[in-house]
Amino acid sequence: MKKRKPKIIKDKKLRGEWAESVFMERATQHGLPVSKPWGEMCSYDFVIGKTGRFVSVQVKSTISQLETGYVCAVRGGHKAYPAGSFDFVAAYVVFDDAWYIIPAQLIQGKRSITLYPQSPTAKYEKYREAWHLLREAADCSEETQACFEHSAVPESVESSSTGALGRLEAAGNYFKRYLERSRVPPQKGSEEI
């Protein structure tokens, strides 16, 4: 399958909303229970976890390419986020289709960070695709995994999906199959609603 080059959404607000939808899809693929708070007044975009154990995530994305990396703004408005605003930042490098799950204390007081997806020794590279950090922080153990009985992405999905759009399509197909498998047939004499 030919890898699609993402069409750039010029409006920053719309691009941010798109990145949030990609985050939600990817977190779900990793078996993480993800919820979106109502409204826009929270200092975070999502919570990951279960009752009594949530971690908050601020989603950022970047298309701001340098010669060797990408600059990603990690601020709210025009100033750095205050301490305690969220637990993790999830930074999405759109052109490399790469997520960085970075603990908030590492970006505290900063207005932007630089991500180098092509450099294995770069400062934030150990946080690339570090979804396990969210799982560990929210203590999403076997109990939570039972809710996502088949949370691992089937091989057929992994091999056929490329880029964010392909994964979004694959996730939709996965959930469709999941719902079909978990559907209980109607009892004899009862009507299906």
Q: Is residue 26 part of a domain?
A: yes
Over residues 83-138, the pLDDT tens digits come to 889 999 999 999 999 999 999 999 988 989 999 998 889 999 999 999 999 999 98
Q: Is residue 5 part of a domain?
A: no
Q: Is residue 192 part of a domain?
A: no
Write the CATH number for 151. Answer: 3.40.1350.10
Let me know: does 6 contact 93? Beta carbons within 8 Å: no
Q: How many domains does the chain have?
A: 1
Q: Is residue 1 part of a domain?
A: no
Let me know: does 145 contact 135? Beta carbons within 8 Å: no
pTM higher than the cut 0.85: no
Look at residues 40, 28, 35 and name the one whose alpha carbon lies nearest to residue 53. 35
Let me know: does 23 contact 90? Beta carbons within 8 Å: yes
70: domain range? 12-182
Over residues 25-47, the pLDDT tens digits come to 999 999 999 999 888 778 899 99
Percent of the chain with pLDDT over 70: 68
> Residue 103: which residues within 8 A CB-CB, separation 6 or more?
87, 88, 127, 133
Q: Is residue 98 part of a domain?
A: yes
Q: Is residue 128 part of a domain?
A: yes
Q: Is residue 6 part of a domain?
A: no
Q: Is residue 3 part of a domain?
A: no
Tokens of 71: 């600059």
> Residue 122: which residues within 8 A CB-CB, separation 6 or more?
69, 115, 116
Q: How confident is the model at residue 175 (pLDDT cuts 50, 70, 90)?
A: low
